[in-house]
Structure 1
Amino acid sequence: MNRLLPEWHPQDAVQLTWPRPDSDWADTLPAIEAMMEQLALVISRYQHVIIGVPDPACGDGLHQRLMARGAATDRVHLVVVEADDTWARDHGPLASQDGDAVHFHDLTFNGWGGKFRADRDNTLTQQLVTAGWIRCPVTTSDVVMEGGALETDGQGTLLTTEACLLNPNRNPDLSRQQVEDWLASQLGLTRVLWLRHGHLEGDDTDSHVDTLARFCDAETIAYVRCDDPADSHYADLHAMEQELTALRQANGSPYRLIPLPWPAACRDGDDGHRLPATYANFLIINGAVLVPVYGDRQDLAALNALAGAFPEHDIIPIDASAAITQHGSLHCLTMQWPRGTLNLEGAHQ
């Protein structure tokens, strides 16, 4: 039976897309590159990492820096790609499994409802197919949907937000029922848990669920809790918390809920607008959970909370301060490839 795979399913690799010097990262390129180098270095200690780079010179320099820092030589793979931005969570492929066979789904990415250019990002999965890196079948679809909008327990349940999946800037011709029917027929999802509340200021994605609430296992959801009544997020996130409390597993049991702390407001250095700092944007890999931190007094509390959710995993902080300047965080920059999807024998640069 076909099912969308959960993030904790055994993985072959994590995909990253390196920032272009002429992109929106131009003014902060050294900072975001330092963060992503640290991310690649840590991932390579546990599994493969495949990095799309804008040109061979960038790839050569990155390879030298990672090797100098002790990255696993046989686990770091660089491929030249044409891309607009770095958000692999949303332009990378989704994976489902039917029996023992894993399948990639290459959905349409339109820059979060046409907010940003995404023509090249939308071709990235096919570029990796052409370059020989993908060993499983890949199906393309005209349906607009991003990985950051979808959280699954791996047992047929999806957690998502109405503000994103039902937004007319994605699939204006699809009703809620038609969206649910597509999720069932293509990704094997039999239940959709819709959140009506939850939003972070500075978020460009129309409330991606991976910034708000995440499955840690089939029975556990970690979520953002705002405990400051004076904060502009308080009412909406409190309403989201009540929604999560009312949700039930397929067997009728309530979910185990793990609240994540609320960091102090992070603001843009130019115009002072609020940046979407969130501890929910963590990444699960083989044997570890990588957690975004922001140099905030709540960082340690967030790490401890997730240690309780993942007692068998290493909990590793990654400073994501550079990422939120462009309104994303650690999970947004990554896409996991489940076991059986990475082709090392046939790949070529």
Structure 2
Amino acid sequence: MPAFFAKWATLMAESTAVRILLPESLAGDAKALLPKNNHLELVFCPTNDSWVRDYGPTFVHDSEIGGLVGIDWHYNAWGGKYPPWDADDAAAARICDHIGIPAIRSKLCLEGGAIETDGQGRLLTTPECLITSTRNPDWSSEAISQELHAQMGVTEILWLSGGGLVGDDTDGHIDQLARFLDPCNIVVAVCDDPNDPNHKPLEDNYRQLRLWGETSEPKVNVHRLPIPAKREVDGQRVPESYCNFLMLGRQRLLVPTFGQPAADEHAIAVIRELACGAQVESIDCQDLIWGLGALHCASRDQPKACEA
């Protein structure tokens, strides 16, 4: 896996600055794998795993201070599934300190992969990842909504309730199920095989999103993005979804592929048609998905401080 991460970081660094979290003990190994590039920076920070999307800060613009702040959510490794998680829970504050912005600690237990926004006040999530006794005991959906509004300025929430992917240990992260490409276009994971156990829950998600998209303002167009056929690793199905793509600003978009050419090419074509001229590139994630996540899960994007 170090070779995969080095290749991925190098690819991203062609157009954007990349910071890589790692323990200082691995600095020599990382430097040996990575090219000399001013867009690549090693940041020494202890962590328990690689899924920085979930424990890293959620960046928001704070009008009162006139700049970025990082929301530091409570984190407990997807409802206490994989101890220890103390280093991960401390990472968001360390990241904010490194880049010189305030960190705001929230009492809400939330993983970054569990939320998806259009950047204009609308948010998609799933109840299984937030309204649970393992993450937020004694929190109602109303209380959670109020906290999301207070910390992120969220004004509209869709609780997508169809269900998640077989093999997904996050309980149904939205970044595997539905993503905004822009405020008026969403891609949603679907399964075209009626015999696959993913078929019904994903169709339910699709129908719910379609109904919501027609009534939300501005209207949202919902596009089907079929998942590849079932694949298992060591007897366990892996949750492969093309929704786990990564946007690199407005110019580039990286799509995970899974070694199924027809399905991979169809997904790339769907996303390319909706990408508003951005360069769409693929990266083979057959190895990364063994950890039950892909590109979006293993990254945390930081917006420019000067953006309004």
TM-score range, shorter chain: over 0.9
Among 5, 8, 19, which residue is 1:50 paired with? 19
Following TM superposition, by how much is the alpha carbon of 1:129 offset from its aligned partner in structure 2, in angstroms? 4.3
| Equivalent-residue separation in structure 1 for 2:39 and 2:188 (angstroms) | 32
Q: Tell me whether 1:294 sits opposite 2:247 in the alignment.
A: no
Runs of 4+ in 1 over 6 A off after TM superposition: none
Q: Tell me whether 1:89 sits opposite 2:53 in the alignment.
A: yes
> What SS does the aligned partner of 1:247 have?
helix
Q: Tell me whether 1:65 sits opposite 2:33 in the alignment.
A: yes
Q: Residue type matched to 1:276 in 2?
A: P
| Equivalent-residue separation in structure 2 for 1:284 and 1:321 (angstroms) | 19
Q: Tell me whether 1:337 sits opposite 2:306 in the alignment.
A: no
Asked if 1 retains the 8 angstrom alpha-carbon contact of 2:54 and 2:111, the reply is yes
Asked if 1 retains the 8 angstrom alpha-carbon contact of 2:51 and 2:297, the reply is yes
Following TM superposition, by how much is the alpha carbon of 1:251 offset from its aligned partner in structure 2, in angstroms? 5.5
Q: Residue type matched to 1:115 in 2?
A: K
In the alignment, structure 2 segments of 5+ residues that lack a partner are none
In the alignment, structure 1 segments of 5+ residues that lack a partner are 1-31, 342-349
Q: Residue type matched to 2:70 in 1?
A: F
Q: Residue type matched to 1:201 in 2?
A: V
Asked if 1 retains the 8 angstrom alpha-carbon contact of 2:45 and 2:91, the reply is yes
Residues 272-298 of structure 1: per-residue CA shift (max 9 Å, x gap): 121101100001112111111011131
| Equivalent-residue separation in structure 2 for 1:115 and 1:251 (angstroms) | 35
Q: Residue type matched to 1:278 in 2?
A: S
Describe how 1:96-135 pairs up with structure 2 within 5 A. Answer: 96-99=60-63, 100-117=66-83, 118-130=85-97, 133-135=98-100
Following TM superposition, by how much is the alpha carbon of 1:252 offset from its aligned partner in structure 2, in angstroms? 4.2
Describe how 1:76-225 pairs up with structure 2 within 5 A. Answer: 76-99=40-63, 100-117=66-83, 118-130=85-97, 133-225=98-190
| Equivalent-residue separation in structure 2 for 1:144 and 1:241 (angstroms) | 27
| Equivalent-residue separation in structure 1 for 2:131 and 2:290 (angstroms) | 27
Distance 1:127 1:98, change over 3 A: closer
Larger displacement relative to structure 2 (220-229 or 121-130): 121-130
| Equivalent-residue separation in structure 2 for 1:334 and 1:309 (angstroms) | 22
Let me know the Cα RMSD of the aligned residues.
1.6
Q: How many residue pairs align between the two structures? A: 301
Asked if 2 retains the 8 angstrom alpha-carbon contact of 1:35 and 1:319, the reply is no
| Equivalent-residue separation in structure 2 for 1:223 and 1:200 (angstroms) | 12
Distance 1:110 1:54, change over 3 A: same
| Equivalent-residue separation in structure 2 for 1:44 and 1:204 (angstroms) | 30
| Equivalent-residue separation in structure 2 for 1:81 and 1:129 (angstroms) | 12
Q: Residue type matched to 1:123 in 2?
A: A
Asked if 2 retains the 8 angstrom alpha-carbon contact of 1:221 and 1:257, the reply is yes
> What SS does the aligned partner of 1:116 have?
coil
Asked if 2 retains the 8 angstrom alpha-carbon contact of 1:245 and 1:254, the reply is no
Alignment-derived partner of residue 192 in structure 2: 227
Following TM superposition, by how much is the alpha carbon of 1:34 offset from its aligned partner in structure 2, in angstroms? 2.2
Q: Residue type matched to 2:78 in 1?
A: W
Asked if 1 retains the 8 angstrom alpha-carbon contact of 2:58 and 2:72, the reply is yes
Asked if 2 retains the 8 angstrom alpha-carbon contact of 1:103 and 1:137, the reply is yes
Q: TM-score, normalised by structure 2?
A: 0.93
Sequence identity of aligned pairs in percent? 34
Q: Residue type matched to 2:242 in 1?
A: Y
Following TM superposition, by how much is the alpha carbon of 1:324 offset from its aligned partner in structure 2, in angstroms? 1.3
> What SS does the aligned partner of 2:129 have?
helix
> What SS does the aligned partner of 2:167 have?
coil
| Equivalent-residue separation in structure 2 for 1:188 and 1:303 (angstroms) | 32
Alignment-derived partner of residue 230 in structure 2: 265
Q: Residue type matched to 1:119 in 2?
A: D
Higher RCO structure, 1 or 2 (CA under 8 Å, sep 6+):
1
